[in-house]
Chain A
Amino acid sequence: MPRGSAERASADPVPADPAPADPVRTPGRDDGRRLPRWTALVLAAGLLVVACLASLFLGSRETDLAGVWSVLRGDGEEHLRQVVAARGARTVLGAAVGAALAASGLIIQGVTRNPLGEPGLLGVTSGASAAVVTATAFLGFSGGAGTVWVALPGAFLAVVVVYLLGRPAGTHSVVPLILAGAVISAVLHAYIQAMILTRPDVFESYRHWVVGSLAGASYDALAAVGPALLLGLLLAALVAPGLNTLALGDDVATALGTRVGLLRVGSILAATLLAAAATAAVGPIAFIGLAVPHLVRALVGTDHRWQLPTCLLLGAALLLGSDVVARVIVRPQELMVGVITAFLGAPFLLWAVRRGMVTT
């Protein structure tokens, strides 16, 4: 017992039964959460399972549930087998991409302490898009399976340029980095505009790229970006605890044993690997990277060690759910999932913000 603390506690009493500052908050729950963290994690996993099943059983072609079930059990007709196989690849790729985008957004928001952070902030999306446009315009590239190998280096190149331009001299401030990202994105977008407005053939190819889609998903695309995804995931898991200390300011983080410079580079690399791989595989998909981390914070609180796994599960579930909607909403056609994520995600986020559930 420290000397004298008892008298001081009575001299300056802490309210014994504090009224919660926010009446919506449930007292007794640690870290502003409404659910115990394990419950939230299991809930997110449950959502992902439901989304996976929906993604297998539903599609732009009407298939009866019993037929799909028999295929999953190992028989069923040949035609249906091909349909389900395609849906399987789509489901696996969709889950991987959704998880990667959400985790990337989480890390960008953490490392920049910016609630509006998302993978595009560092130039990932514009870099990939500019590379696709360039390849189409000058190298006779025509989209399709090779897109990954154009978009991936493009995204990386853009982030490297942003990092070199925005690397703060002497300070640990991330503002130069964010500004450099905005500048590079603006320049690349101007370049893309110039190309697609003057070259109709480029525009035709670009418009298929610019809104991300899981149509034509294949295991080949997943295999191409797999190493980047796995490395990004590993790095994300390594930086997550450090981001907890970085949230308290650079000085506190250093005093708590975090090597701030190293953490920053590792975080940017992790976020870039994840977002570049996802974007290269399926094209730019908005909103998952921005919205999912906010929803996850509402569920599990401010601890990145819990946020990361929840983000992976919820990001995958949200992207797959959006893709199912994209496939069934205009049957027998389908929409691009990038259109649906914003339409589905925006009201969800807005609702959470208005309930006061979302904090940074």
Chain B
Amino acid sequence: MSAPLTEPIGSADPSSLRLAGATVAYAERPVLEGFDLEVSRGMFTAVIGPNGCGKSTMLKALARTLRPRAGAALLDGRPLAQWRSKAIARRIALLPQDPVVPEGITVKALVARGRHPYHSPWRQWLSGDDEVVAEALRATGVEQIADRPVAGLSGGQRQRVWIAMILAQDTEYVLLDEPTSFLDIAHQIEVLHLCQDMRDQGRTVVAVLHDLNQAARYADHLVVMDAGRIVAEGSPSEVLHAELVAEVFDLQAEIAEDPQSGTPMVIPVRRAGDQVIRS
């Protein structure tokens, strides 16, 4: 698909976030070339694909922490490079894979940093900040630990604190780069629930996920990437087929129905020669 570079003036719904013909590179090696993607508004989109396929790069281009060499990331049809930095930060939030926790910072102080885009050199504290921060702490269930140092928290608690910071940023678009990695299963599900909560609040959520079953179960929309291209896009039941899993992940699998939700579930086929243990 190729999209026009500028939105027609006076279009009915101007809010949009997309990549148009974007070429994004680390050093000299292009990871994405002529990449097009329109973020589905109001949905929880999961981006899946094998390691190194460009998922994180794509997310960083949308959040303009990487600048496209060619093409552009467009917010409301206008290239991000033409926006004021803080104006973008009031619309798009990003939680990268490896944010730094400053030593000694407390949960509340970290979450409060999400308010930065609303401040100016002359107005560093705003009257509504405390309420927004309190609401973010409450929504992520970390209000009880608000005064504790973040460095002493478990991985699951820490991730909730980062999501609280994103909520305090109060943006329409929320981009999360592998938010469930390195968490145990219960905390992974918790983060996915928080993603759904954010969607229910009317935000557009895009998360890079590794677990296909979790992506299919919790997200509304899947973007499947391979080698810097989008291979398939759509609802989980439209997209997740045995052929696709074989092609993209090089895995022979059977697709079953999730007994809880009816969403597709990927079940790897056993290797030839494997013993099946039956009791």
Contacts and interface: CB of A to CB of B under 8 A. Distances in A.
A255 B94 contact: yes
Nearest to B144: A14
Interface stretch (A52-60, A128-136, A203-211, A241-249): A241-249
B113 A248 contact: yes
A217 B76 CA distance: 59
B193 A31 contact: no
A297 B109 CA distance: 13
Interface residues of A, number: 48
B152 interface: yes
Given A8-B141, A32-B149, A251 B94 contact: yes
B106 A31 contact: yes
Given A21-B149, A170-B27, A254-B63, A305 B124 contact: yes
Contacts of A27: 147
B197 interface: yes
Given A16-B144, A255-B63, A302 B105 contact: yes
Contacts of B200: 2-3
A77 interface: no
Contacts of B110: 248
B65 A255 contact: yes
A14 B146 CA distance: 11
A15 interface: yes
Contact of A251 (B96, B142, B156): B96
B108 A30 contact: yes
Interface string A110-150: 00010000000000000000000000000000000000000
A245 B115 CA distance: 10
Contacts of B119: 241
Nearest to A6: B141
Contacts of A2: 139, 194, 197-198, 200-201
B13 interface: no
Contacts of A8: 141, 190, 193
Contact of A302 (B60, B109, B116, B140): B109
Contacts of A18: 144-145, 148
Interface in B84-120: 85-90, 92-96, 98-106, 108-110, 113-114, 116-117, 119
A18 B94 CA distance: 30
Given A14-B141, A248-B102, A249-B98, A257 B117 contact: yes
A359 B104 contact: yes
B147 A302 contact: no
A257 B118 CA distance: 9
A302 B85 CA distance: 24
A245 B113 contact: yes
B89 A359 contact: no
B30 to A, nearest CB: 14
Contacts of B4: none
B121 interface: yes
A256 B104 contact: no
A287 to B, nearest CB: 21
Contacts of A250: 65
Interface residues of B, number: 58
A199 interface: no
B141 A257 contact: no
Nearest to B98: A249
A157 B121 CA distance: 30
A302 B102 contact: yes
Nearest to B92: A255
Nearest to B97: A251
Contact of B116 (A30, A258, A297): A258
A252 interface: yes
B180 interface: no
A105 interface: no
A68 to B, nearest CB: 41
Given A2-B139, A29-B147, A302-B109, A256 B169 contact: yes
B109 A303 contact: yes
Nearest to A297: B104
**From A12, A237, A250, A256, residue with most partner B Cβ within 10 Å:** A256
Contacts of A257: 85-90, 116-117
A35 B158 CA distance: 26
Interface in A247-269: 247-252, 254-259
Nearest to B109: A31
Contacts of B197: 2-5
Given A32-B104, A259-B85, 13 more contacts: A3-B197, A5-B197, A14-B141, A15-B145, A21-B148, A22-B149, A31-B104, A113-B100, A170-B27, A245-B116, A249-B96, A256-B113, A301-B109
* 9 nearest CB pairs, A to B: A257-B89, A359-B104, A2-B197, A21-B152, A257-B86, A255-B94, A251-B96, A249-B100, A257-B117
